[in-house]
A and B are shown apart, each in its own frame.
Chain A
Amino acid sequence: MDSLMEWSFLSYAILGGLLTSITCGIIGTYVVLRRITYLAGSISHTAFGGVGLSLLLGWPPLLGASLFSVLAATGMGWIRLKLGRGKDDVLIGAMWSLGMAIGVICIFLSPGYATNVMSYLFGNILLISSTDLIIMTVLNGLIIGCVTIYYRSLQTICADEEFAKILNLPVNRLNFLLLGLIALSIVIIIKSVGILLVITLLTLPAASARLWTTQMKNMMIHASLFASIATLLGLGLSYWANLPSGPFIVFVSLFIYIVTLGIKRPW
């Protein structure tokens, strides 16, 4: 019976890890190519406010995290639109802190919070439930659908935003769409590595993939593959060491990146 339960946990974790990896590969590619790591990090930390509010109100934490992530992405997109790229870092940093501050207050006011909070801050892929898997599948489907439809337009605003404007592409709407997709992907990744480590999975596999290919589509595929290796190997190592999975996933991602740098030597 115990081994059956254990297998159930593991199979959910493996499936969840693979779903997370697909998201990381696709959205991470945009984050790396658009050079918006800081913005993505800020959105993920703001999600902590949503987790805290959910725990206080008795909602499913991923619901609050989704709400806060999407609101933060919209807010940051608006700030960037009004102030311009490069002049928005203070306000984006302020939103980062505000989300964390709201989370801390809400969690302080919630009774019996400690275990839950740790799993959202640092992730625990073994705690992925069947409901989480359904949410992750739906969000993944939404992300893949949007990217398929807008692939060329998103590629163009990432490569050459000025030219996209001249083509009369809806550049602002596409930027908001991309930020929204980043917000949704963060919700998927939180369960695996936690809010504090999300940015690792959103950047390192894609940054490694960038050095192996000269095509954006291939970069997404390579990044998903690297994220899968990091997630599954990290899960295996954490299971073997009986330690939290999130940090091990980060270690493997970093190892892949360092090995890639050693082989490809981009300098």
Chain B
Amino acid sequence: MKTCPISCSGVTYSYPNSPEALRGLSFEIAQGDYVAIMGPNGGGKSTLVSLLLGLISPNSGSIKLFGDSPKKGRKHIGYLPQHPSLDRQFPISVIETVMMGALSKGAFTRFDNDIRELGLQQLKRLQMEPLANRPIADLSGGEFQRVLIARALMTSPKLLILDEPTSSIDQHSELCFYDLLDELNQTMTIIMVTHDMHRLRQSVNKVIVVNRDLKYVGAKSDMPESLMHEQCHHG
């Protein structure tokens, strides 16, 4: 029987002086799942990700990540944001960016040879090793995306969360990216926020649809036709 590393129970959240962004969400995600979180713009998808990451706390209800609160459990998460907050013009090389992930061990961490070796391994996994010493400012959108994944993998995460990961890359990079996710799903749980129903792969085994309320949780194939049509329309 699969364990449930993520569980949400009656989660409600509203931003200050705003109506509820999410209302009473309850669902579970099992180990090894490949989950797509879908819904219209403004429906609360990114808010749900922020809650899972412990960047904000629910007004009511609870979230458990690997048996802990999100703030404690997020050490097991690798995260790829929709709009990376990493400044592309920051004077930093590809390998230094990837090694940032090793700071999960603590604020005093020094980037020694072992950490560098681990960083190079992650880059090799993503066919990015030759670019290790290049400044990040020189990378294309797809290459930058891969560097951020390599950085997320530095913590050896059990769960990878990706928020609209293909919004800023070309079609070829996108196909390669989905192949990579399929490969990573062999060893970790993946949650991907997307608004594009057409591009959901067969490997996605669970779909969660939110539009303030929880509209659907289950297999893609079991989704009601009206809801599927709605998601295609949003895409």
A174 CA to B108 CA, complexed, in Å: 11
Contact A216 B92 (CB under 8 A): yes
Known: A152-B103, A159-B86, A162-B85. A219 touches B74 (CB 8 A): no
Q: Closest residue of chain B to A150, judged by CB? A: B107
Interface size on A, residues (CB 8 A): 28
Residue among B85, B97, B100, B108 with most chain A CB within 10 A: B100
Known: A150-B107, A163-B100. A216 touches B53 (CB 8 A): no
Please give, as numbers and ranges, the residues of chain B lying within 8 Å of A213 by CB-CB distance. 91
Q: Closest residue of chain A to B161, judged by CB? A: A166
The digit string for A150-184, where 1 denotes a CB below 8 A from any CB of B, is 10110110111111111111100010000000000
Please give, as numbers and ranges, the residues of chain B lying within 8 Å of A165 by CB-CB distance. 55
Please give, as numbers and ranges, the residues of chain A lying within 8 Å of B71 by CB-CB distance. 168
A158 CA to B96 CA, complexed, in Å: 14
Nearest CB of chain A from residue B111's CB, rounded to whole Å: 6
Give the number of residue pairs across the A-B interface with Cβ within 8 Å.
Answer: 78
Please give, as numbers and ranges, the residues of chain B lying within 8 Å of A149 by CB-CB distance. 108
The digit string for A109-120, where 1 denotes a CB below 8 A from any CB of B, is 000000000000
Q: Closest residue of chain A to B77, judged by CB? A: A166
A95, CB-defined interface residue at 8 Å: no
Known: A159-B86, A160-B87. A153 touches B81 (CB 8 A): no
Please give, as numbers and ranges, the residues of chain A lying within 8 Å of B135 by CB-CB distance. 214-215
A153 CA to B128 CA, complexed, in Å: 24
Nearest CB of chain B from residue A160's CB, rounded to whole Å: 4
A33 CA to B86 CA, complexed, in Å: 12
Contact A169 B55 (CB under 8 A): no
A155 CA to B110 CA, complexed, in Å: 12
A45, CB-defined interface residue at 8 Å: no
Please give, as numbers and ranges, the residues of chain B lying within 8 Å of A158 by CB-CB distance. 90
Contact A166 B92 (CB under 8 A): no
Contact B101 A167 (CB under 8 A): yes
Q: Mind listing 18 A-B residue pairs with CB under 8 Å?
A: A33-B87, A33-B91, A149-B108, A152-B100, A155-B92, A159-B87, A159-B90, A159-B100, A160-B86, A160-B100, A161-B85, A162-B55, A163-B79, A167-B101, A210-B91, A213-B91, A214-B92, A216-B92
> A interface vs B, CB < 8 Å?
33, 149-150, 152-153, 155-156, 158-170, 174, 210, 213-216, 218-219
> B interface vs A, CB < 8 Å?
53, 55, 71, 74-75, 77, 79, 81, 84-87, 90-93, 96-97, 99-101, 103-104, 107-111, 135, 137, 151, 155
